Structure 1
Amino acid sequence: MTGEVWTQLSSAITGLMLAWVMFQQYFPTQLRGYLEKYSQKLIVLVHPYIHITFHEFTSERLKRSEAFSAIQNYLSSNSTKNAKKLKAEVAPKGQSVVLVMDDYEEVTDVFNGVKFHRSHREIITEKYVEHVLKEGKEIAVRNRQRKLYTNNPSDNWSGWKSTKWSHVVFEHPATFDSLGMETKKKEEIKKDLVKFSKGKHYYAKIGKAWKRGYLLYGPPGTGKSTMIAAMANLLDYNVYY
């Protein structure tokens, strides 16, 4: 039975190849153009979906595309809910296992109740792509390993790969839950920090620099450094010293 199926399939493929060769040789160029034009229209009617490609590397020195990385983060966060085939990757220092989509796997995403249909072209090419890039960047920030940066002496700023900053992994365990502070004041500070972290567009709208300052004072051992660590852990921010 299997042999008969393969024989029929081979015959069909051979017939299609022969028909294509005859089409290329004997049909006038103008007629072929018309057929290709209307066949494309027919395909659009049968498959009316938009296809957008983001390349992993840009043409500039094969630099990895930031848009591609953001989309990859977005898909990775959604794939654990919808994808049937996943592959596991170990995070740095073996801290945890990260699940990502397996090769050639697909997931379906819905945005504002629509899919990649040509009737929703404006929503897809503008709002949806912007949504994916924004979410992907925010996911990268949330998942990144926080670092403690220290300013280097000026005599280290020259030479190959010169930098004003060096860093180590920031692993301070402090949180606002572990801070010894009046509960009302603690919640007030947390609310203010979260409001600030979400206010980038507001600051840009009113024309002010997006920054927030806190003055911590007191003798050694009163929790100033612990407070800074709790802030960094709450907002997923790096620390610069």
Structure 2
Amino acid sequence: MASRSFPEMPTPSSLLSAYASMSTSIMLFRTMFDQLFPRQLRRYVVDAVRFYWKPKSSKLTLVFEEKDGMSMNHMFEAAEAFLCSRINPDSERLRITKSVKENHINIKFADSEEVVDSFEGIKLTWKYVRHQPQPSGGGGDDSGYGGGKNSSGGSFSLERKYIELKFDKKYKETIITSYLPLIIKKSQELENEKKVVKLHNLQSYGGGPGGFKESVNLDHPSTFDTLAMDPKMKKAIIDDLDLFLKRKDFYRRVGKAWKRGYLLYGPPGTGKSSLIAAMANYLKFDIYDLQLMNVGSDSSLKKLMLRTSNRSILVIEDIDCSIQLPDRKGAMPMFSKLPDVKPVRDSQFSLSGLLNFIDGLWSCCGDERIIIFTTNHKERLDPALLRPGRMDVHIHMSYLTTEGFKTLAANYLNIHDHHWRFREIKELINDTKVTPAEVAEELMKSDNSEVVLEGLVNFLKRKKTEDEITKDGVHYGEGEVREPKKAKVIS
């Protein structure tokens, strides 16, 4: 039988000799490489080798930027709200916030904090990132992240915020089609449960491009129950708001932007601001307060408007005396020469720019929005603002009525039944032009209801005498400016 021959195994000494020879060659090659090639070239070669030979990652990262162009990214807001309910007890860094008027502590993510979630057995890693760019001396850019000059001449830079979601690539379809819609649904439920109405102050950077908003919680106690208004007027406003909320499909079917315009007009102290707060509390809509005097151009106005969210109320108070608005031909409206009208700083801001956001092409940039103008003198407004389709509902905030006084008496004096002084007070109210604010001030002068009502009677008598003597020439409720045919009027 033939015997098999096996190759001889290398001896340990031969292995050590080969290893020493290879190490010497590598060291010699590295020494020659370092001596013959400059550092920049060596770094380029090493980076190139690492780039072409690096292993492909099996992970996919989705980035949720805070802004999508000039608009806010709804997915970022949804992810941020959702993740606040998924904070890990083992988290090492968290942001804690609480305003003076809030009753609870807000727990949010800190920079670079990670949260691990699971969906249908898929591991998902979330990471919150806040990046502050270096201050820049250049002008602001359209991205919303560039630098520029503020109103005091100093430089500013906008903070960039984004959220990363990392998972295995093979689950991409499942995450996009199932997990992300779940995030949106959950965030909406959380928002409805913890909704806090906020008041935002829209401002621009010294009239330059871009802008920013400051916000506080709106802790205004005004509701439709506390408003000193005629009950029929209250019901008409509430019914109009309810109908507006239910007509999303209707607005889309007829080809109109889902928005509603209200014009509140009447003398000072009749409750225009209180009505706005009551509407916000009823709808749970944020309020955006826009001061037109701080807007330098149509471009600035557009960027400020795009920073407003859906389900919000945009308020421009005292529009008749805030600014001079050049019309489409560049001329000033008739009321621009009145003494209480302040000139706008930059003539680039025009009436057409404002109208474009009310019912023009830019009006469709957002859903479920309410626009409110207030004025003490409706007759001073440019007719273009009163055309049908712009201010859908005109609400006349008149002087105090007897029904309104009943509400004030219940709110301030806790008197819900008839009082022996009410008859005289109601007769004086019917014969006197007195605002709810004036009567409310009288009702706060004492804790004794009898003393308060006696003082109110004396006040109304003096007011009636003054009205008979003084003729100011301004009458609300009589000689009103004719309403547009299709504008709904509540008075």
- The answer to which structure has the higher helix fraction is 1
- The answer to which structure has the higher strand fraction is 2
Decide which structure has the larger Cα Rg and report it. Answer: 2
